Structures are given as C-alpha cells and as structure tokens.
Structure 1
Amino acid sequence: MFFEKQSKWLFIGDSVTDAGRDYQRKVGSFDSLGQGYVAIIAQALTALYPEKEIMVINQGINGHKVTDLEARWHQDVLRLNPDYVSIMIGINDVWRHFDQRFVHPNDLVDLETFRCTYQDLVEQTKPQVKQIVLMSPFMFENNLSDPMFAKLAEYQAVVKQLARENNLLYVDIQAAVNQYLKVQSSYILSNDRVHPNQNGHFLLAHTWLKALQFDWRSSDGN
C-alpha cells in the first residue's frame, strides 16, 4: 500500500536520522542515506523489491529540534515533492533542557511550542503527500524515574496524540526499545542512551518496516 512503484519516501529528523549522511551527495543516492535506519530501510526496499524503484531521501541533520525542522521545511521537504514523509523529532527538544541548559537559554522548546510547531508542519505537508508517518522520539532507558526519560514521555505523548488527531501512521519506537530492554542491556544498542549503534538502527528499521506492513519475502516468491 505504501510502497508503490517509483514512489518517493522522505525521512527527516535529527542525528538519529542523519546517521552520518553525506550532505554533498545527490539527494536519493546511496551515499546520501547515512549509516542508520534510513539506509537499512532503503536497502530492504532496493534488495527485496527492485521492480518498485522506490527513492529514499534522508534529510536528517545532527542536533535539530522541531523548530529547526520548521526553518528548513520548505527547502528540505516540500520542495522535493515526496509521496510520503516520515518524521522523527523530539529527543533534542528534551535533551537541551538537561544538557547544559545555560548554553541554550533562548532556544529551549517547551511542550506547547513542540506541539504547535509539529502540528503546523503536519498541516503544511498533509495536503501534498499520500501519508505522513510519525515516529516516536525515544531513549534506551528503562529507569522510569530518570528525569530526562520522564520528560521525554510527555513529548512522546504529544507525537502520539498528533498522529491520532491527524489520522497519521504512528510508529512507537520506544515500545520496541522497551521490549528489547526486558532481555538485554541498553549498551547492546547504544553507548549514550540516545544514539543507536548498528544494532539499534536495525531495531528502528525493523520496527518501522513492520508498522508499515513490509513483507520481507521478495516479490519473486523466494
């Protein structure tokens, strides 16, 4: 349903989406996809369904918050005329409240700003695309009393609410992480509770593909 022939998927977010992509490479080229979940999703689509000829675009940028997305939305999203847009944002909006907040006195994103800005991006985009996917921001953390994790839960709730109110697809990355952490340590997936390693990125990609009902069997029936 979501992977029509020659459709264009655009992913946008922060460093988790960026994952070391080469900004100088042509949009949609393999070298422009980074080394994270976006690249894994593109590899799955390319290797298993070559006849679909789906273009994947990575527009993640390190350190970005929802207000940074707002500033570049037309240039980096709407101008490229994607068929589908997948958004994951929020961890930096929360992290800046804890990461030397005196360095960021004028650009902290409170919950209401986060909500309103995100909603505006959805409203700009929804009429121009076939569907928008909202991915929950997440942490590799199972201590519910951790202050940053507790604050993140408020922003996660906003993203889930926006998906419901706007009839968008919601991918609960945090739920998948929580399930994993019942069995293994967070260090298997991340060194700093925020940035995934390759194991973590595969978990993200698999969760996203599963939510969109991707069939891992190739189209030739093998």
Structure 2
Amino acid sequence: MKIRTVLYIVIKKEMLQMKHIVCLGDSITDAQRLFSPDGLGYGYVKILSDQMPDDVLITNRGVDGFTVLRLLENVERDCISKMPDLVTILIGINDVGLIMGEEGRPERQNAYVERFRMTYRQLVKQIVEGTDAPVILMEPFLFPCPEKYKNWFPYVKILSKEVKKISRDYQTAFLSLHEPLNSLASEIGMDAVTSDGIHLTEEGHGFLARLLRQKMKELQKH
C-alpha cells in the first residue's frame, strides 16, 4: 500500500508539471494563429506561452468559427493524440450565435441549448477518459457592445451554467470570465477590452491570460 501511495504521488506531481498544454476553442483562442510565425496566434495563448518556462510546450488548437460540436469532432486529432498535461477549453459564443439565430422560436432555441449541453459533456468525458490531464473549462463571455448583444446575455448565462455544472460533474477546474471581463471594461472602457463585443483587444487578452495563469497555479498547488 505504501508503494502504491508513493507511486501515485510521483505520477500526480509529474502530471502537474504541465509540460504540454493544449488550448482548445474558437476564434478567441485562435487569434490568427495560422498567420503567426510560431502558430500560437496573437492572443491569450501567445501571452501565456511567453510567461511559461522554455521547456513548456503550448499548442494552440483554437479554430475560427468553431462550435462545441466542431471541437468534439476534432478532439482526438487536436487534443487526445497529443498527450497533453493540461487542457483548456474556451467555447460557446458561436453556439450562442446559433441560438439567437432562432430568435422567436423557443423550441428550437431550447433544442440548441440541450445539444450544447450534451455535446460539451461528451467533449469533456472524452478528454478526461482519454488523457491524464487536468482540464480548465472557461465560460463563454460577451460584452454589451453593440447594444444588441444585451439580448444575447441570457443565453450566455444559460450556457455558462451548463459549463459550470459539467465542470463540477467531471471535477475539472472552472474559470469565470464574463463578469470579470465586463467589470474590467466598465473600469477602463469597452474599447480598451473588446474590439467588437465578442473578440478581445491586446489588453483583454492579457487580462484573460492572467486569470488563466492564476488558475493554473492553483491547480499546481493541489
């Protein structure tokens, strides 16, 4: 029994060294990675990489336009096969866009929400079962700029609650973003944080990277 305990501690310690981090997401994560020399893009993934030791590899697998379904369809290639030590997921705003495209048709909107819930749950299940990596789920976020995006807020909140529940069920880390980012925008100005209400400025990406780095440090302490 003592030997098994020691082995578990060693394995756990190695896992939390986080030598390979895979970041999954949509255009916010992508941040034009295909046009950057190192493939990391120009957003929070790049900023995070610059803060990490040289022996830590970060792989950006964000794709512009992706929904949670597209992440699931590509999870084996983009994540599991890479044997990561940590996985981060930021997805959902394109799913909110699909839901709002059905405005006035509540049954179809509810069906989209249910599909999101089931697909996200399957995505996390496959990552948890297919790797030994801890996972950080980041909630979707949106800014009230332009004004019409205020109508999207209820569904951003609904999907965020679903992500948080999945995080609890699979014992992953959860990172709140909607309220912190909007608070920052209220403090320093909307244009300083977001370029269009969905995507982040350099300041916004830097703030997200700091929140994510702090969450990673919390994981390493446990």
Give the TM-score taking structure 2 as reference length.
0.80
**Contact 2:96–2:156 (Cα < 8 Å) also in 1:** yes
Find the counterpart in structure 2 of residue 135 from structure 1.
138
Give the Cα separation in 2 of the matches to 1:55 and 1:191. 29
SS of the residue aligned with 1:183?
A: helix
Give the Cα separation in 2 of the matches to 1:114 and 1:100. 15
Give the Cα separation in 2 of the matches to 1:121 and 1:100. 24
- The unaligned stretches of length 5 or more in structure 2 are 1-12
Give the Cα separation in 2 of the matches to 1:189 and 1:16. 13
Give the Cα separation in 2 of the matches to 1:10 and 1:109. 30
Q: How does 1:51-66 map to 2 (within 5 A)?
A: 53-66=55-68
Q: What one-letter code is carried by the residue in structure 2 that aligns with 1:42? A: S
Larger Rg over CA atoms: 2
Give the Cα separation in 1 of the matches to 2:159 and 2:69. 14
Q: How does 1:41-80 map to 2 (within 5 A)?
A: 41-46=48-53, 50=54, 53-80=55-82
Q: How does 1:11-30 map to 2 (within 5 A)?
A: 11-22=23-34
Find the counterpart in structure 2 of residue 213 from structure 1.
217
Aligned sequence identity (%):
27
Find the counterpart in structure 2 of residue 217 from structure 1.
none
Higher helix proportion, which one?
Answer: 2
SS of the residue aligned with 1:63?
A: coil
Find the counterpart in structure 1 of residue 182 from structure 2.
178
* 1:114-146 deviations in Å (ceiling 9; x for gaps): 111111111111131220110111012398x92
Shift of 1:212: 2.1
Q: 2:156 aligns with which of 135, 152, 155?
A: 152
- The unaligned stretches of length 5 or more in structure 1 are 215-222
130-139 vs 172-181, greater mean Cα deviation? 172-181
